[in-house]
C-alpha cells in the first residue's frame, strides 16, 4: 500500500500554472498557451505522459505530494506468525463487519489494513508455507474483487499480492482458490491444513459453501491423501497485529437521533405489527427473529446514527420474540434521556451490545426446551448460528423486505430529497462550466467535490453525503469506483469527459445521481457511446413488466443498445436505495448477480438506473437516475404490470447526445423529462444568474438536425 506525505506548504510557489492562477487569473490563460497537454490530465500520480508528444508535462501531476511506498511485507510476516500460533495454513480476511455491512467503520477495515486495497468489496486470503523453516514465514497473498474495482486494485496492491478477478473468464472463485491452496499445502507437507476465519465476519451460508468445496476437493482421486479443515478463530488476527504498525482507529460514541414520524411514515408499533403478521402468524414453531443488519435495526426503531461514514446507522442488534417482547442490544450510555423514554414507551428492552451472543445462547436453550424455532436471516454471521442450541430457520430477513417497500411518506420524501439534490447538482454543473470555460480556471477533482458539497449544505434537512463522491476527469472516469484524494487528484480537463457520481442524506431520503458531461468538443466515439448509454437508461425507465419479475430478467433492457455495438459494462444496472438509510439496499437489484435473480421487484421499491461504458485509459460514461416501482394499471392473464417513475431532477448533457441515434419515443421522453426539470426548478434561481441560463440551455428541447 502507499501513503502520501506532504512535501510542505507551497501555497505561494510558482511551480505550476494552477498555483499561479491563485495570484493572477490571467496566468490560467497562460497555462492554456504553454506546452502543457491538458488533454492528458486524466492520469493520476504520473509526472510524465507520452501520449501526443515525446515528453509532455501533465499539469495534474505538478506539485503533487511525494509518494512514500509502504509495502505490506512486514504486515504479512506478522500475520503469518499469528497464523502459526493458531496452526493455520490459510487465513481469510473479509471486508465485512459482524453485521455483514457493505461499508464498514475505520476499526473494521481489516482487509484494507492488510492488503492496501481501499475498495468497499473484496476479500483477502493469506497462506502460510507450513514447511518453511526460515525466520521470515513465506506464503501467498491474494485479493479477490469484482469488475468495479479491477483497475483500482491493480493500482493499490503491492508486489506481495495477486489479484483474483471475480467473475472473469477461466478464473476460479476466491473460495475455490482458497480450498485449492489448502489442499496443495496438505499434499506438499503431508499435514492437515486448517483454513481459519473470524466467524463473525462471514455468513453461515458461506461457511456451508466452504464445507462442500472442501469435501468435493478432497474426494478427487489426486487429493485423497490431503486433509483440510475449516475453523472458526475467535481471536481476530488482524486486530491482534494492527497496533504494531499504526494506531488503532478510535471508537467515538457518535450521537443517535429519533427520526420523526413525519419522515419515517410508520411508528415502531406499526412496524412490529407488520413483523408479527409476517413471521409469527405464518409458522406456529417460529417464536423469535434475530436482527443483525444495522440498517434494519435503524429502520425498525426509527432511529439514525453516524457509526459508519455515509450510512446513518449505529452498532446494535435486535431480537424480536412472540412472547418475550423486543430487546435492543446497544451500549446504553450512548442513548439520550429522550431516546430512553422513547424506547420505554415502545416496550423496547435494553441489553448491552457485548451481551448479544450470551443472551442469544441462553434464549436458544430455552427455545430448545420448548421445541420452538428462531428465524435467522440469511445475512446473519456464522457466529450467530454457532451460538444457537435450538432449531432455526434461515430465510430472507422479513424486515429487509418490508423496509424495501417504501410507504407513502418515504416515497414523497424521496421525491423531495431528489428535488433538493437536483437543485444542488444543477448549481454545481453550471458553476463548473462557467469556471472552466468562461474564466478558464484550473479546478481539480477535489475542489469540484467540495463545491458540490457546499451547494448541498444550502438545502434544508441536509445531513451529509450518502457515499464518497466520484469526481473523475478523463481516464479517471474509467475507474468505476474512483476516489480522488486531496493533493493527489487530477485537474478537470474541459476537453475531456467529466463524470460525477454523488449522493446526499436528507432527513426526507437518500439520493444517488451520476452525470457525465463534456465542456468542450467531444469526439464522435464519446457522443456515440454516451448516446448508447442514455438509450439504455431510457429503455429501462420506460419499461413495463409483469409482477413476479426479478431484476436479472430485465438487465439486458439497459444493455441492449451497447450490445449491438459489441460493448458492455462491468457492473450491475441497479441497486436498491434506502429511505434516509444506506445508499445500497437489498434485497433487490437489476443485474447479473445472484441477488437480482432471487427477489421479485415490487411496487414501492426505490432503486437506481445506471448503465455505463468505460474506455480504459480514456474516459468513463455513466448515467444514473433513481426511480421507484408503481402499478401501471395494465393487466394480462391475471398478472398486474408494473412500471418505473424517475425522480432524479438533473438534465443530461446535450453536447454528448446524438439526436439522430434516438427514436421518436426516446426524443420525446428526454424533452418531456427536461421540461419537468425546468418547470420544477427554474423558479429556484435568479433569472439573471448563470445557473438559470445554464438550466434553460440544458433543458431546451432537442431537435433533429434534419
Using one digit for the tens of pLDDT, what is the confidence trace for 686-704? 999 999 999 999 999 999 9
pLDDT of residue 61: 38
What is the number of alpha carbons within 13 Å of residue 217 lying toward its C-beta? 22
What CATH topology corresponds to 73-245?
Answer: Creatine Amidinohydrolase; Chain A, domain 1 (3.40.350)
The answer to whether residues 327 and 318 touch, using CB atoms and an 8 Å cutoff, is yes
Using one digit for the tens of pLDDT, what is the confidence trace for 581-615? 999 999 999 999 888 999 999 999 999 999 999 99
Cell of 596: 437480482
End-to-end CA distance of the chain: 55
Mean pLDDT of the chain: 90
Has residue 35 got a pLDDT over 80? no
Rounded average pLDDT over 59-67: 38
Has residue 25 got a pLDDT over 50? no
Using one digit for the tens of pLDDT, what is the confidence trace for 508-531? 999 999 999 999 999 999 999 999
- The C-alpha atoms of residue 691 and residue 687 are separated, in whole angstroms, by 9
Using one digit for the tens of pLDDT, what is the confidence trace for 123-163? 999 999 999 988 889 999 999 998 888 888 888 999 999 99
Q: Where are the domains of the chain?
A: 2-69, 73-245, 257-403, 408-699
Decide yes or no: CATH 3.90.600.10 for domain 408-699.
no
Residue 537, SS3 per DSSP: helix
Strands (E), 432-580: 462-465, 470-473, 498-502, 504-506, 513-517, 544-546, 574-576
Rounded average pLDDT over 12-35: 34
> From residue 671, how far is each of 134, 426, 628, 651, 691 by CA, in Å?
70, 17, 21, 10, 19
For 50-54, 427-431, 468-472, 676-680, which range has the lowest pLDDT when averaged over its residues? 50-54
Cis preceding-peptide flag for 629 (omega within 30 of 0): no
| DSSP strand pairing (141-145 vs 162-165) | parallel
Using one digit for the tens of pLDDT, what is the confidence trace for 553-573? 999 999 999 999 999 999 999
Q: Do domains 73-245 and 257-403 have the same CATH topology?
A: yes
- The C-alpha atoms of residue 553 and residue 557 are separated, in whole angstroms, by 9
pLDDT of residue 198: 98
Has residue 27 got a pLDDT over 60? no
* Bridge partner residues of 488 (DSSP): 485
User: Residue 50: pLDDT band by 50, 70, 90 thresholds?
Assistant: very low
DSSP string, 325-339: -EEEES-GGGS-HHH
The answer to whether residues 620 and 472 touch, using CB atoms and an 8 Å cutoff, is yes
Has residue 104 got a pLDDT over 90? yes
Q: For residue 436, give the DSSP letter.
A: I
User: Residue 488: pLDDT band by 50, 70, 90 thresholds?
Assistant: confident
Residue for grid cell 426548478: 681
pLDDT of residue 106: 93
- The C-alpha atoms of residue 362 and residue 369 are separated, in whole angstroms, by 11
- The C-alpha atoms of residue 219 and residue 211 are separated, in whole angstroms, by 12
Decide yes or no: CATH 3.40.350.10 for domain 257-403.
yes
pLDDT of residue 283: 74
Nearest to 274 by CA among 392, 404, 376, 379: 404
For 44-53, 307-316, 572-581, which range has the lowest pLDDT when averaged over its residues? 44-53
Has residue 396 got a pLDDT over 60? yes
Using one digit for the tens of pLDDT, what is the confidence trace for 288-331? 999 999 999 999 999 999 999 999 999 999 999 998 899 999 99
State the CB neighbour count (10 A cutoff) for residue 212: 11
User: Residue 70: pLDDT band by 50, 70, 90 thresholds?
Assistant: low
Amino acid at each position: 500500500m502507499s501513503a502520501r506525505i506532504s512535501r510542505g506548504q507551497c501555497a505561494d510557489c510558482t511551480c505550476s500554472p494552477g498555483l499561479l492562477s491563485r495570484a493572477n487569473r490571467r496566468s490560467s490563460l497562460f497555462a492554456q498557451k504553454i506546452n502543457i497537454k491538458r488533454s492528458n490530465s486524466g492520469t493520476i500520480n504520473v509526472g510524465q505522459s507520452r501520449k501526443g508528444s515525446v515528453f509532455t508535462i501533465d499539469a495534474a501531476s505538478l506539485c503533487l505530494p511525494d509518494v512514500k511506498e509502504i509495502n505490506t511485507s512486514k504486515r504479512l510476516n506478522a500475520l503469518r506468525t499469528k497464523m502459526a500460533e493458531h496452526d493455520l495454513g490459510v487465513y481469510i480476511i473479509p471486508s465485512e463487519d459482524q453485521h455483514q455491512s457493505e461499508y464498514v467503520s475505520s476499526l473494521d477495515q481489516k482487509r484494507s489494513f492488510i492488503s492496501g486495497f481501499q475498495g468497499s468489496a473484496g476479500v483477502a486470503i493469506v497462506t502460510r508455507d507450513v514447511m518453511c523453516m526460515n525466520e521470515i514465514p513465506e506464503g501467498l497473498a491474494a485479493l479477490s474483487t469484482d469488475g468495479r474495482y479491477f483497475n483500482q486494485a491493480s493500482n493499490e496492491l503491492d508486489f506481495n499480492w495477486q489479484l483474483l478477478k471475480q467473475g472473469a473468464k477461466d478464473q476460479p472463485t476466491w473460495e475455490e482458490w482458497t480450498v485449492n491452496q489448502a489442499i496443495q499445502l496438505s499434499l506438499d507437507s503431508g499435514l492437515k491444513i486448517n483454513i481459519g476465519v473470524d466467524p463473525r465476519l462471514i455468513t453461515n451460508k458461506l461457511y456451508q459453501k466452504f464445507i462442500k468445496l472442501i469435501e468435493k476437493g478432497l474426494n478427487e482421486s489426486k487429493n485423497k491423501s490431503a486433509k483440510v479443515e475449516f475453523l472458526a478463530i475467535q481471536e481476530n488476527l488482524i486486530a491482534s497485529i494492527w497496533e504494531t504498525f499504526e494506531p488503532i482507529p478510535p471508537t467515538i460514541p457518535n450521537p443517535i437521533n429519533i427520526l420523526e414520524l413525519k419522515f419515517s411514515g410508520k411508528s415502531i408499533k406499526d412496524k412490529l405489527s407488520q413483523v408479527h403478521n409476517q413471521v409469527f402468524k405464518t409458522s406456529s414453531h417460529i417464536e423469535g427473529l434475530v436482527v443483525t443488519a444495522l440498517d434494519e435495526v435503524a429502520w425498525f426503531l426509527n432511529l439514525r446514527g453516524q457509526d459508519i461514514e455515509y450510512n446513518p446507522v449505529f452498532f446494535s442488534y435486535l431480537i424480536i420474540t412472540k412472547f418475550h417482547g423486543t430487546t435492543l442490544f446497544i451500549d446504553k450510555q450512548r442513548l439520550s434521556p429522550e431516546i430512553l423514554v422513547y424506547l420505554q414507551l415502545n416496550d423496547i428492552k435494553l441489553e448491552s451490545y457485548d451481551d448479544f451472543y450470551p443472551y442469544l445462547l441462553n434464549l436458544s436453550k430455552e427455545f430448545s426446551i420448548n421445541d420452538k424455532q428462531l428465524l435467522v436471516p440469511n445475512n446473519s454471521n456464522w457466529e450467530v448460528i454457532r451460538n444457537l442450541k435450538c432449531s432455526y430457520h434461515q430465510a430472507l430477513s422479513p424486515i429487509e423486505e418490508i423496509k424495501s417497500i417504501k410507504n407513502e411518506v418515504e416515497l414523497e420524501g424521496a421525491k423531495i430529497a431528489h428535488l433538493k439534490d437536483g437543485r444542488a447538482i444543477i448549481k454545481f454543473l453550471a458553476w463548473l462550466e462557467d469556471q472552466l470555460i468562461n474564466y478558464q480556471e484550473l479546478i481539480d477533482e477535489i475542489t469540484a467535490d467540495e463545491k458540490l458539497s457546499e451547494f448541498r449544505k444550502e438545502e434544508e434537512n441536509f445531513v451529509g453525503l450518502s457515499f464518497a463522491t466520484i469526481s473523475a476527469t478523463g481516464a479517471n472516469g474509467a475507474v468505476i469506483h474512483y476516489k480522488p484524494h486531496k493533493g493527489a487528484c487530477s485537474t478537470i480537463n474541459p476537453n475531456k469527459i467529466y463524470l460525477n457520481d454523488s449522493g446526499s442524506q436528507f432527513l426526507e431520503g437518500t439520493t444517488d445521481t451520476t452525470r457525465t458531461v463534456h465542456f468542450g468538443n467531444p469526439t464522435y466515439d464519446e457522443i456515440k457511446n454516451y448516446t448508447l448509454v442514455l438509450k439504455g437508461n431510457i429503455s429501462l425507465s420506460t419499461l413495463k413488466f409483469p409482477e413476479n419479475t426479478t431484476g436479472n430478467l430485465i438487465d439486458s433492457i439497459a444493455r441492449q443498445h451497447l450490445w449491438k455495438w459489441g460493448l458492455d459494462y462491468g457492473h450491475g444496472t441497479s441497486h436498491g436505495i434506502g429511505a434516509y438509510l444506506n445508499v445500497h439496499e437489498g434485497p433487490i437489484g437489476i443485474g447479473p448477480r445472484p441477488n437480482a435473480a432471487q427477489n421479485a421487484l415490487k411496487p414501492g421499491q426505490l432503486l437506481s438506473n445506471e448503465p455505463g461504458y468505460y474506455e480504459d485509459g480514456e474516459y468513463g460514461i455513466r448515467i444514473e437516475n433513481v426511480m421507484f416501482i408503481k402499478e401501471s394499471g395494465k393487466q394480462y392473464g391475471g398478472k398486474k404490470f408494473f412500471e418505473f417513475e424517475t425522480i432524479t431532477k438533473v438534465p443530461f448533457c446535450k453536447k454528448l447526445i446524438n439526436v439522430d441515434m434516438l427514436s421518436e419515443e426516446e426524443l420525446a421522453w428526454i424533452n418531456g423529462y427536461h421540461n419537468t426539470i425546468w418547470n420544477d426548478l427554474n423558479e429556484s434561481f435568479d433569472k439573471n444568474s448563470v445557473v438559470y441560463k445554464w438550466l434553460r440551455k440544458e433543458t431546451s428541447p432537442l431537435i433533429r438536425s434534419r
